[in-house]
A and B are shown apart, each in its own frame.
Chain A
Amino acid sequence: MKPGKFLILGTIGLLTCFSCQEARTVEKDFIAFTSQDIVQKSFGGLGVEWGTYEDTDKIVEGGWERIIAHMDHLKPARIRLMVSYDWFCQNFDGKGTDDKNDDTWTYNLTNKYAKNTIEILEYCQIHNIDVAFGAWNVIANLSGEDVWGMMEEVTSDIRWAKITGDILDYLVNKKGFDCIKWFVNSNEPNYSGNRGSSKNYNNTYDKWEQGVKNVRATLDSLGLKSISIVGGDTTGYAGTEEYLTNIARNIPEQVGDYGFHLYLSNIAVDRGEMFDQINSIYKKVKDIDGGLGVKRQANVWEAGLLDGKTLLDCQTAIRTGNYAVRMVDYTIQCLAAGVNGVVYWDFDDAMHFMYTATTMTPKEWGMFSSLAEATSNKQELRPWYHSSSLLCHMIKKGNLIYSPPQNDNNLDKTFRSIATRSQDGKQGGFVAVNAGLASVNKTFYIDDEIEGDKLYVYIFNGSSYRLDESGYIIPNYEIEGSLNKKFTIDVPQNSAVVVSNERL
């Protein structure tokens, strides 16, 4: 759906749609998902950041089993797995020359970082989960010891591509992890930060682009053409627009997608502004690269909210139902705007830390914590794990995505919905969010045929969702019915509603 496609007719909430062939009048409170509303013909999938744990020794006893159980239940279609090359590269010898070509080093692929990386990849390989594998940044010690001298050229340093090739050759060609579908050419390259606190302080788009070209050539030479390079992995709208439009102009065929991170204010989600902003960037890139949406998709590789973020890089709102509802809304707006995959930041508090000279503080952004030091309430599954599991289960990889005209912000800034349907029509459902301050009554209907005579209804806010004995979400209720028949429901304020023809 594109802005401007519909005309508001007065205050009674009727719209007229001037799509390709015929005008379409729609009612604000009657949402019919039709084939005209298909915005994605093959959805890429939802997922979560599940990166290598920076210190597996900090995981609580029995924690890994719980991690696996939670991953089993979440069923993501994709994950993003980031590593640090510093963990694997050792015995560096610069030979005392400025020539980087004669530098040598060895790899330690048996330490706890490598073991954990392989554990995660084995899981993904078995469970058919697509992996975006990447390295946070170049090798260097932030305290100023740039022993490798990589911070000047950053990822355009020829050794970056060499290391990347060596690691991926080992993981894919030798270990067989062909679940790795993408390579992330450093995290948030547009965020330079400051010398002393960021390895990326010296980066530019041009350096990053050269890095992509080097990595692409290296992977191709190793027979790893099936691994795409994430086009961007940028953060924020301005940096994303800069990188993505440059990529579209310069190297569209060398990247596999247009990828970015979005951490947004509550208001940007609540009032539907992110939908318009993503649409705007999407259009700018599409105007340059017609392959967007066809040969290359747009993906959000880190999804989260800004309000609630503390100076210690923790998200205080993750324990709340509000966060869960907003992330559902966030997902709806991404998918409606053409984003093909969303990866939530992140799975487990135990993965990442903020470091000072003497302390390491966990970055609490997860759906739970497996840290031994975490209090019992932090170890429990958080509300947004449950809401995310509903979406992962229902909006499957390969599905169709429908976005109705009522999502136009000119009509209603606080209510949004999308529907999904498998290609064969056996599975589907819809999800809606009311970000307003009052309950609303809405009727839904999916026009394209979906099988099933039972509906599973989940009403999600901080107090309404239900869990089974294992602690996983169950429907609020089940009814006889079909997605192809009108279904009317009160959607409470600040709530999400998920209706599926399958138990999720």
Chain B
Amino acid sequence: MKTKIILLGAVASMCLFGCKNNNGADEYDGDKLKVSFRNLYFDNYSGGDSYIKEVEDMFGLSFKLEPYSWQDWTTQVNGHVLAGNSPDVFHANIDSYNFVSYYKYWAEDKVIKQLPDDLSNWPNLKRMIDNTSNIEALKLDGHLYGIPIAKNTTDFSTSFSPFTYLYRRDWAKQYGVYQENDEYTWEQFNTLLDKFNRELSGKRKFALGDVEWGFPSITNFYKQVPHCFAYDETERKYVNNYSTDEYILGLEKSKEFAITDKYYSSDQYTATEGKMNEKYYSNQCGVLYENLSYSNMEALRIQLKRTNVNDKDFNVDDATAIMKIKGPDGKYALEGTDNWFSMTFINNNISEMKLNKILDLYDWLLSESGTNFAIYGFEGYDYTKDETGKVEIVRDRWYNDDGSLIDRVNGAKYLRYMLSLGYDTLEYDPMTEKSVVQYLNDWDAQMKTALADGELRVLKESPEVMWLTSEKKALHSGTLRTNALKTVTKYVFDKIKSINDYKSDRAISNGTWDQVLDEINTVLGGN
């Protein structure tokens, strides 16, 4: 699909995406303007609760809400874009590698609507966008065509991702390889994997699994940058990351873990999205590399508790401990990040009135009252405020009579996910497990300290190359990365035997790589 788009991009002046010009064709449900939203974070939410109805009434809108599936998100987005039947608002994974092949073409082909240059009518939205890292890189001719979804709307400082290792601390203790405070040197980490492997193999269990998009995570401890373009300080130019000495070291270690040591399961080679996660919560995997966002952590904990419901000694904290591993260089290694992930796009076909109503809704969702409604619900029913404005939840509305927290469905919270992942609300959201939030915050604080002390290496491409949209890079970098990763996986699982064969593989070494790198170095003034 992506290749097709890129090829068509050569004639980008044509309408490529099944454009339908039905501007102003607003439809109403009674007196409410119909608006369709599709977002990954809706999960299986489809509306119907009183909270969403209240928002509909408040803004005179009637919502149609649809989720994407995690497995097919990009395919589903491309499906409706190419068919010309995108919802009014949709959600896409935009990164520097697909920026041009998706975002730029969608804007040029009028699939997505330009946001007003002047957002002063929507001050909360404006504030969030203004605080988006690399926001200028997301503008085309000075205009913005989508809303980057902020991780946190109060603290915009983010430098590293929580992509790291969870492990079975309970097993580590049982096998005598536990280290105090879950802190492991590289040697201790290797020792633990070896012990786990010896204890688990033969029981349809294994020591190490990586979330599929993060494989092979072991390279993080060696490589300079997460993806394609590393900077060679000696040569003073950008080079192919996948053939640098550092990457090759990481690759060899990964292969050792997969083939010689068998720490990785052979299932990792063909694992589809979610498979390793499933192995972990099924008690089949000892260490898991994953994106440890609160929601992922919560989901894993729920599943683990479910799996181990009959084990009275099971302690979910000990089954979801974060492992802090220092690599061979004695430093932690984490992938760098921006303060946003993915973007919300508005269909170019909608009327200006509908656009304004959507922006009104968005601004409210980011306001104090909107955030309060998304987190607490109805004042007087779900919560009260004292004279100082302090919120007090009405316990009977949040807890069952057996003392358990009610899994409340508040549609406004889902709507807010179109703008923010809500890291800023976790600490006071009554629905979150505070000890888990605190645990993640403690880990974050420890890593920030490590960063300040020079004990954390953050892997991040330089913004100058990451968001560079030169012609050849724009055209080829996404494919180069995808193909390189396939070859990396083949090498790790010995489908490609020798490192020379790896290095000379067409995905790692070819004329296109050379052309793209030459262009980058020329544009950025390298050799």
Chain A residues within 8 Å of B, Cβ to Cβ: 191, 193-197, 235-238, 263-268, 270-271, 273, 306-311, 313, 316-317, 319-323, 356, 358-359, 375, 437, 461-463, 493-494
The 8 Å CB contact of A309, one of B62, B299, B397, B409, is: B409
> How distant is A118 from chain B, measured CB to nearest CB, in Å?
33
The 8 Å CB contact of B409, one of A307, A319, A358, is: A307
Which chain A positions have C-beta within 8 A of B62? Answer: 238
The 8 Å CB contact of A267, one of B47, B381, B407, is: B381
Q: Does B44 contact A311, Cβ atoms closer than 8 Å?
A: yes
Q: Does B11 contact A (CB under 8 A)?
A: no
Which chain A positions have C-beta within 8 A of B381? Answer: 267, 270-271
Beyond A194-B68, A238-B62, A308-B406, is A494–B48 a contact (Cβ under 8 Å)? no
> How distant is B103 from chain A, measured CB to nearest CB, in Å?
23
Give A77 to B44 CA distance when docked, in angstroms.
33
Q: Does A267 contact B401, Cβ atoms closer than 8 Å?
A: no
Give A321 to B299 CA distance when docked, in angstroms.
26
**Size range of the chain B interface in the assembly:** 35 or more
Which chain B positions have C-beta within 8 A of A462? Answer: 400-402
A–B complex contacts, Cβ < 8 Å, 10 sampled: A191-B46, A238-B47, A263-B48, A266-B397, A266-B406, A267-B50, A267-B51, A267-B377, A308-B407, A319-B400
List the B residue with the shortest CB-CB distance to A435.
B396
Which chain A positions have C-beta within 8 A of B310? Answer: 375
Which chain B positions have C-beta within 8 A of A267? Answer: 50-51, 377-378, 381-382, 397
Give A446 to B402 CA distance when docked, in angstroms.
35
Q: Does A375 contact B309, Cβ atoms closer than 8 Å?
A: yes
Which chain A positions have C-beta within 8 A of B409? Answer: 265, 306-307, 309
List the A residue with the shortest CB-CB distance to B272.
A357
Q: Does A194 contact B69, Cβ atoms closer than 8 Å?
A: yes
The 8 Å CB contact of A463, one of B49, B50, B51, B401, is: B401
How does the 8 Å CB contact mask read for B331-366 relative to A, with 1 for contact and 0 for none?
Answer: 000000000000000000000000000000000000
List the A residue with the shortest CB-CB distance to B64.
A238
Q: Does A196 contact B69, Cβ atoms closer than 8 Å?
A: yes
Beyond A238-B29, A322-B400, A461-B401, is A307–B68 a contact (Cβ under 8 Å)? no
List the B residue with the shortest CB-CB distance to A314.
B407
Q: Does B394 contact A (CB under 8 A)?
A: yes
Q: Does B293 contact A (CB under 8 A)?
A: no
Q: Does B48 contact A310, Cβ atoms closer than 8 Å?
A: no
Q: Does B47 contact A197, Cβ atoms closer than 8 Å?
A: no
> How distant is B338 from chain A, measured CB to nearest CB, in Å?
27
Q: Is the interface of A mostly helix, strand, loop or mixed?
A: loop
Q: Does B396 contact A494, Cβ atoms closer than 8 Å?
A: yes
How does the 8 Å CB contact mask read for B405-417 relative to A, with 1 for contact and 0 for none?
Answer: 0111100000000
Give A167 to B233 CA distance when docked, in angstroms.
75
Q: Does A265 contact B51, Cβ atoms closer than 8 Å?
A: yes
Which chain A positions have C-beta within 8 A of B67? Answer: 194
Give A237 to B48 CA distance when docked, in angstroms.
7
The 8 Å CB contact of A236, one of B48, B50, B69, B408, is: B48
Give A267 to B409 CA distance when docked, in angstroms.
11
Q: Does B49 contact A306, Cβ atoms closer than 8 Å?
A: yes
Q: Does A265 contact B50, Cβ atoms closer than 8 Å?
A: yes
Q: Does A311 contact B396, Cβ atoms closer than 8 Å?
A: no
> How distant is B206 from chain A, measured CB to nearest CB, in Å?
16
A-B contact sample (9 more), CB < 8 A, given A317-B407, A321-B400? A194-B76, A238-B62, A264-B48, A268-B49, A307-B408, A309-B409, A310-B407, A316-B407, A323-B400
Q: Does A309 contact B407, Cβ atoms closer than 8 Å?
A: yes
Q: Does B278 contact A (CB under 8 A)?
A: yes
B391-430 contacts to A, CB under 8 A, are 394, 396-397, 400-402, 404, 406-409
Q: Does A307 contact B72, Cβ atoms closer than 8 Å?
A: no
Which chain B positions have C-beta within 8 A of A313? Answer: 44
Most buried by B among A193, A267, A313, A323: A267
For the complex of A and B, the 8 pairs showing the least CB-CB separation, nearest first, are: A462-B401, A265-B50, A320-B400, A265-B49, A236-B48, A268-B50, A267-B50, A307-B408
Q: Does B406 contact A437, Cβ atoms closer than 8 Å?
A: no
Give A455 to B406 CA distance when docked, in angstroms.
35
Which chain B positions have C-beta within 8 A of A309? Answer: 407, 409
The 8 Å CB contact of B69, one of A197, A271, A307, A317, is: A197
Which chain A positions have C-beta within 8 A of B378? Answer: 267
Q: Does B43 contact A (CB under 8 A)?
A: yes
List the A residue with the shortest CB-CB distance to B50.
A265
Give A387 to B48 CA distance when docked, in angstroms.
25
> How distant is A464 from chain B, measured CB to nearest CB, in Å?
10
Give A265 to B76 CA distance when docked, in angstroms.
30
Beyond A238-B29, A267-B377, A267-B378, is A311–B397 a contact (Cβ under 8 Å)? no
Q: Does B408 contact A437, Cβ atoms closer than 8 Å?
A: no
Which chain A positions have C-beta within 8 A of B394? Answer: 437
Beyond A271-B381, A308-B406, A322-B400, is A196–B50 a contact (Cβ under 8 Å)? no
Give A375 to B44 CA distance when docked, in angstroms.
27
Beyond A265-B409, A494-B396, is A320–B404 a contact (Cβ under 8 Å)? yes
Which chain A positions have C-beta within 8 A of B397? Answer: 266-267
Give A194 to B77 CA distance when docked, in angstroms.
12
Beyond A270-B381, A317-B406, is A494–B401 a contact (Cβ under 8 Å)? yes
Beyond A375-B310, A462-B401, A494-B396, is A235–B68 a contact (Cβ under 8 Å)? no
> How distant is A261 from chain B, measured CB to nearest CB, in Å?
10
Give A195 to B29 CA distance when docked, in angstroms.
25
Give A264 to B302 CA distance when docked, in angstroms.
24
Q: Does B66 contact A (CB under 8 A)?
A: yes
B44-73 contacts to A, CB under 8 A, are 44, 46-51, 53, 62, 66-69, 72
> How distant is B51 from chain A, measured CB to nearest CB, in Å?
7
Beyond A322-B401, A437-B396, is A307–B51 a contact (Cβ under 8 Å)? no
> How distant is A241 from chain B, measured CB to nearest CB, in Å?
8
> How distant is B37 from chain A, measured CB to nearest CB, in Å?
14
Which chain A positions have C-beta within 8 A of B50? Answer: 264-265, 267-268, 273
List the A residue with the shortest CB-CB distance to B399.
A322
Which chain B positions have C-beta within 8 A of A196? Answer: 69, 72
Beyond A267-B382, A310-B407, is A321–B48 a contact (Cβ under 8 Å)? no
Give A322 to B408 CA distance when docked, in angstroms.
14
List the B residue with the shortest CB-CB distance to A383.
B401
Most buried by A among B29, B66, B402: B402
How does the 8 Å CB contact mask read for B14-43 relative to A, with 1 for contact and 0 for none?
Answer: 000000000000000100000000000001
List the A residue with the shortest CB-CB distance to B43.
A311
Which chain B positions have C-beta within 8 A of A270? Answer: 381
List the B residue with the shortest CB-CB distance to A323.
B400
Which chain A positions have C-beta within 8 A of B53? Answer: 237
Give A359 to B79 CA distance when docked, in angstroms.
28
